[in-house]
Chains A and B, each alone.
Chain A
């Protein structure tokens, strides 16, 4: 059940990424907004990788869990965007 739960949340992340891409395809302004949001998220993702110990103590979770979440977020974004672009 724990694996099913994680898989469902992963699918939700992928669908969210595709939805953001779909929103970006609606209008140039929305594309800019999504691009800005994506850039900000990527910077934040990189900072989390650099400051993983500080962030993990701030979020009160283990470092390994934080790193797993960061990898999963990147995978969800890549898969969701890839599905949208390739369809």
Chain B
């Protein structure tokens, strides 16, 4: 199409100028040829102009189509970016503002963590008092009662208990044995007597 347009343009210029320059006006058939060539030049020029106008219109339409496609792509990208940003924002809001159930769960966990525990009764010592210490001096000292108290400790404790308990109750309490003819009672009674004598 474009080649046809350029051929018509060239033909129009040639048919316009060449006969007027080359042919003699005084010769009859020359003059006739000039007239015919001028008519042909006008026809070729108009035809070439029409083709060029069509091509120009098509080029404009193609440019419009290209711009429309570009605009569509840009619009699509912008929409995707907007949707993605909105989605991320919603996710962030969902993370920052949890549901009531989650809030309640978190609150309960925190309360459980920071709730002061009720004071437990002091646990009894696992080991009885005055256990032999490896680092202690190697001198063996006699111990009394089931608590392995030293003599002074035992005397002090007995004196305190004697204000409330009688002798039998005190021995039963400290040596953890029942009154009777058992060996434990006899030994406990002997220790008690020896402590009270001193």
Please classify how large the interface on chain A is, using the bins under 10, 10 to 19, 20 to 34, 35 or more: 20 to 34
Which residues of A have CB within 8 Å of B6? 4
Complex: how many Å from CA A23 to CA B98? Answer: 95
User: Given A1-B52, A1-B55, A7-B9, are A15 and B34 neighbors across the interface (CB < 8 Å)?
Assistant: no
Complex: how many Å from CA A82 to CA B17? Answer: 11
**Contact across chains for B38 and A22 when beta carbons are under 8 A apart:** yes
**Contact across chains for A15 and B59 when beta carbons are under 8 A apart:** no
Which residues 1-37 of A sit at the B interface, judged by CB distance below 8 A? 1-2, 4-9, 11-12, 14-16, 18-19, 22-23, 25-26
Task: Name B's A-contacting residues (CB within 8 A).
Answer: 5-6, 8-9, 12-13, 15-17, 20-21, 25, 31, 34-35, 38-39, 41-42, 45-46, 48-50, 52-53, 55-56, 59
Which residues of A have CB within 8 Å of B5? 4, 8
**Contact across chains for A11 and B16 when beta carbons are under 8 A apart:** yes
**Contact across chains for B17 and A12 when beta carbons are under 8 A apart:** no
**Contact across chains for A25 and B38 when beta carbons are under 8 A apart:** no
Closest A residue, CB atoms, query B53:
A5
Which residues of A have CB within 8 Å of B48? 4, 8
A48 lies within 8 A of chain B by Cβ: no
